[in-house]
Chain A
Amino acid sequence: MTYLFQQVLNALQLGSIYALIALGYTMVYGILTMINFAHGDLFMLGAFFCFLAATFLHLPFIPTLLIAMIGVAIVGVLIERFAYKPLRQAPRVSAIITALGVGIFLENFTLVFAPYPQSVPTLIKNTTWVIGGVSISSLQLIIIALSIVLMILLDFIVRKTMVGMAMRAISWDKAIVPLMGIPLDLVISATFALGTSLGGAAGVMYALAFPVIDPYMGVLIGWKAFIAAVVGGIGNIRGAMIGGFILGGVEILVAAFLPSTYRDFVAFTLLLVLLIFRPYGILGKPRPQKV
């Protein structure tokens, strides 16, 4: 029982990181129907910004987090402007390939400056409480709480503010939005800034939880977060959150009861099974095909 509770806590921690990254995928998809495959690498950049700010500027946790989020958001907006915007009218697949290219660029660019794995200094003094046999670390609680705060904030922005309304309008119909006087480019930039900054925040949290980082850390985690977004129903913000926690839960459970090498196998098999029964994810709805 305590073991189970321990695993639930671990699952929440991993799940919240997946969920934060998945949100970036889903927001960009919702608005541009494009999979931003560079997003996993923006997550990696977040971890590296955290590393830089903590190692060289000796900043405490909150400023580090903010620097990483803002830094990643700037990179994200720049990528959209220079690499994706020229391709809005192009075949969808060229945008996907461009995103893959941008991702590889980010990885290898970082690799030039960080050819070896780097270790991130401790930013939060980690105290562990043992309550009824369950060990709870302050770090774990901070990661879970912070992710939930960020998600609630995002949900609020998307649902209640003008920018959020404009975002939802664009995901509904991109052609009509400029006619309504909504500055399309600005809203798309805002979406990228929001989505990628969440990825950056996830990078920071990951770096705190698993303090050895390398330029390729974003590849597999990025793909997995993408799967989380799909499981929830891509384009759907609440779906991405749910998907992230489901994936985190499944992975931790598998690792708890089976050899850890089975983790990916079970996670991806489950994904396939889910897609057979719910081809559009948990909260996704099929877009009707007009004939």
Chain B
Amino acid sequence: MLLQAKEVTHYFGGLCAVSNFNLDLEPHELVGIIGPNGAGKTTVFNLITGVYKASRGSIKIDGVELVGKTPNQITALGIARTFQNIRLFKDLSVLDNVRIANYSQTKYNPVEALFHLGRYDAEEKRMAEHAMDLLAVFKLQDYADEASKNLPYGLQRRLEIARALATNPKILLLDEPAAGMNPNEIGQLMEFIGWIRKEFDLTIILIEHQMRLVMGICERLKVLDFGATLAEGLPKEIQNNPKVMEAYLGEGGDL
């Protein structure tokens, strides 16, 4: 088992944002988390990545406990994410955005950096090349020296995924990757997600509202509502689950 979340619970003040969240993730799975607005989906991501410290429960990757670790430690252990609202380093170049994500794998120490000694030159070259290769995979190589805020929206989304992959993750968390996309673009995105999963040997957790995307690519779904897990199973089962329909559409709804 790659990732194991057990009875993860989180309170904001007195409000229970996530309660008893469980997740067992096998390598190479693609799991979707769905639910109405405010159901605690993004909070789950924040708990896994260490932005918030879980009030209770445990999250383990390859048997290593994550609760209590800082976000940068957790990322270095192989969990990367994107954000609901794009959070690129806006004034920095596209290349720098990707290189920064290489931080935990940088193999020179501060003294070497300050005086340009030892491994510094070789390592800088390697990182630049690695970052450019990655950008090329995402067809962003021509924008390498552009400030990332100048990219069109779609490319910014793509750059965010490229940046996340630069941390060399085992698990990728995508927070509403299809937000603001038209049906045509969603189709492309579905193919794209499938492709990076294979290419980078990733396990993916995905938060999404676009049912077409969720039903199309997720192998397994978890439905959250008011922080509690409402249902889980195969997309087909979820589609026909009356409790889910009720949460989404009120009684008698149809997905």
Contacts and interface: CB of A to CB of B under 8 A. Distances in A.
B83 interface: yes
A92 to B, nearest CB: 14
Contacts of A291: 42, 46, 51, 83
Q: Is the interface of A mostly helix, strand, loop or mixed?
A: loop
B27 to A, nearest CB: 27
Interface in A263-291: 291
Contacts of B46: 291
Interface residues of A, number: 1
Interface in B47-63: 51
A6 to B, nearest CB: 45
Contacts of B51: 291
B150 to A, nearest CB: 17
Nearest to A289: B51
A78 B42 CA distance: 46
A94 to B, nearest CB: 14
A102 B164 CA distance: 44
A291 B46 CA distance: 8
Contacts of B42: 291
A43 to B, nearest CB: 37
Interface string B42-84: 1000100001000000000000000000000000000000010
A291 B41 CA distance: 12
Nearest to B12: A288
B249 to A, nearest CB: 27
Interface string B8-50: 0000000000000000000000000000000000100010000
A154 to B, nearest CB: 31
A291 B42 CA distance: 8
A288 to B, nearest CB: 8
Nearest to B45: A291
A291 B83 CA distance: 7
B14 to A, nearest CB: 15
> Which 4 pairs of residues, A with B, have the shortest CB-CB distance?
A291-B51, A291-B46, A291-B42, A291-B83
Interface of A: 291
4 contacts: A291-B42, A291-B46, A291-B51, A291-B83
